Amino acid sequence: MTKGINILEKLQLFTEQWQPKVITEMNDYQLKIAKIKGEFEWHSHSETDEVFFVIEGKLIIHLRDDSIELNPMELYVVPKGVEHKPYAEEEAKIMLIEPRGTASTGDNVGKRAAQEDEWI
């Protein structure tokens, strides 16, 4: 019998920060989990929206003219083409939903670029 994916168990399998891990796919979309702390870099995704869903902790998504604060069980969709910079003062555990092959640093080739499609 097939069983469901336990996200909290999957989060216990790694410690790296800012390195999303793919846990499943739906059509051409991937659901990824990540642990984050500190700030990422400014970036945008010209071809796709990006969903941030907070599992544990608090996430702030800085936009050029605003900031979005997300607490556990809250999500936000960053529209395609909108520059954003995620930040977490303390470690946060999040899920990202985005098309397969989406680079973590978007259109930039940043120093924090994650490995592509690392499954856990």
pLDDT tens readout for residues 30-74: 999 999 999 999 999 999 999 999 999 999 999 999 999 999 999
The percentage of residues in the chain with a pLDDT greater than 90, rounded to a whole number, is 84
Residues 62-75: tens digit of each pLDDT: 999 999 999 999 99
Burial status of residue 117 (CB atoms within 10 A of its CB: 0-12, 13-18, 19 or more): middle
Tell me the average pLDDT across 80-94.
97
Residue 118 has phi, psi (to 5 degrees) of -85, 115
> Which residues lie closer than 8 Å to 61 by C-beta, 6 or more apart?
52, 67, 68, 70, 76, 78, 84, 85, 86, 87
Where do the domains of the chain lie, and which CATH numbers do they carry? 7-99 (2.60.120.10)
Q: In a 3-state reduction of DSSP, which class is residue 23?
A: strand
- Residue 72 Cα to chain centre, angstroms: 14
Residues 3-39: tens digit of each pLDDT: 999 999 999 999 999 999 999 999 999 999 999 999 9
